[in-house]
Amino acid sequence: MKRIAILGSTGSIGQSTLKIVESYPDRFAVATLAAGNNADLVFEQVVRWRPRLVSIASEESAAQLRARLERAGVEGVEVTHGAAGTVKVATHPDVDFVVSAIVGVAGLEATYEAVKAGKTIGLANKECLVAAGELITAESRRQGKPLLPIDSEHNAIHQCMRGGRLHEVERVWLTASGGPFLHTPKSQFGSITVEQALNHPTWKMGRRITIDSATLMNKGFEVIEACRLFNLPPEQVKVVVHPQSTVHSMVEFVDGSLLAQISVTDMRLPILYALTYPDRVESDLRFSVNGLRQLDFCPPDMDKFQCLQLAYEAVAEGGAKTVALNAADEVAVAAFLEGSIPFLGIASTIQAVLKETPALHAESIEQVLSQDAEARALASDVIRTHVTKRSVTNT
């Protein structure tokens, strides 16, 4: 029986993980849970799963949850809160496997502490590898415990990598759907509206990740994740646009063989793969081969999708550059969504922040978080200047 901690149990990945646990009651048990502010769902999850320990974002919500559980006659569940509570959930002695699925840098410290505590990690949180990948992967190598990717592209690469050895890999191919502006000429990028950018052709996702898909920054983050997870230089990590999103990613070996991973588009499958690795177990998550019709591939336009180019540049230097890339992107995307900067302002803000950020290599998560805060402040300054300039020009 594998005893699982879920960081971000109320989110999309967290809930999919609980569905997997539900489908395999003889294999998995919920040991601990951590969530943010969705108190009602946390309560339901605790009543259903009876974890040893649960953490919620605020002290006030934790007190309310304790009282609610007492009224419901639920005993034996310790309730804690905040960042320290999430770390406790991730490092609890009863936990064998940690699913890291908190969104943003809030998931960083607990994931790092879980790696340090020798837990096996199923990693969904992108920021962990983009901002602190060098620290986290070094620690996981020291511990001799795998970091198993849940992000579908990296999960696909992980599966394909099993077809050869690392030194036999020529390159990996990350597939990208291309987003809503795949066929939009660059000359029209200046007038892209928030509504257009939020209208992703295939996926319904959160607002930041939808905009990151439109700029291809999301793919840029995945390039960085791949470099760090698989210990590859950026030259060996390629992006290929594949609008059908049928092939989740590919690995090309030195003999010219290409292994591609195809499966149903359902995050439960990469979660199941990570949870059962190195075994595979039967599932009903089937892909219809007879439905396979057309597979198109083309290179991304790096000139049009400048954010992807910036991600390659940031990972080549590493350290604070990738921390700044993520932080500046988050601030710039928020500014675009509230109408403060144009679509092209996202890339120009990130570029300006990267230019001002030295490639210092952090030695602790605290340093990463301080680099993150600095980059956010810098991005806000760049945006303020941009907005001021625009209002001056408009008067």
Residues that bind ligand NAP (CB under 6 A): 8-14, 34-38, 57, 86, 101-103, 106, 124-126, 151, 206, 209, 267
Q: Where are the strands (E) in 118-246, listed by range? A: 120-123, 147-149, 169-176, 237-241
With residue 247 as reference, give the H or E element that holds it: strand 247-253
- For the chain, helix, strand, coil in percent to 5 are 55, 15, 30
352 CB-side CA count, 13 A: 19
Q: What is the C-alpha to C-alpha distance for residues 143 and 114, in angstroms, rounded to an integer?
A: 11
First to last CA, the chain: 67
- For ligand NAP, which is the closer residue by CB, 190 or 206? 206
260 CB-side CA count, 13 A: 13
Q: Determine the residue with CB nearest ligand NAP.
A: 11
Q: What is the C-alpha to C-alpha distance for residues 249 and 157, in angstroms, rounded to an integer?
A: 6
CA 261 → CA 4, 116, 167, distances in Å?
Answer: 26, 31, 20
- For ligand NAP, which is the closer residue by CB, 149 or 382? 149
Closest CA to 105 of 141, 129, 80, 81: 129
- For ligand NAP, which is the closer residue by CB, 65 or 182? 65
Q: How far is the CB of 86 from ligand NAP (least distance, A)?
A: 5
Q: What is the C-alpha to C-alpha distance for residues 160 and 179, in angstroms, rounded to an integer?
A: 25
Q: Is 29 exposed, middle or buried (0-12, 13-18, 19+ CB in 10 A)?
A: middle
* Residue in the block written with tokens 């919500």: 61
Q: How far is the CB of 16 from ligand NAP (least distance, A)?
A: 8
Q: What is the C-alpha to C-alpha distance for residues 194 and 10, in angstroms, rounded to an integer?
A: 27
| Residue pair 230/166 in contact by the 8 Å Cβ criterion | yes
DSSP string for 3-54: EEEEETTTSHHHHHHHHHHHH-TTTEEEEEEE-SS-HHHHHHHHHHH--SEE
- For ligand NAP, which is the closer residue by CB, 126 or 219? 126
Q: How far is the CB of 334 from ligand NAP (least distance, A)?
A: 15
Torsion angle in degrees (nearest 10) through CA of 275, 278, 282, 283: 40
Q: What is the C-alpha to C-alpha distance for residues 360 and 368, in angstroms, rounded to an integer?
A: 10
Q: What is the C-alpha to C-alpha distance for residues 391 and 395, in angstroms, rounded to an integer?
A: 6
DSSP state of 148: E
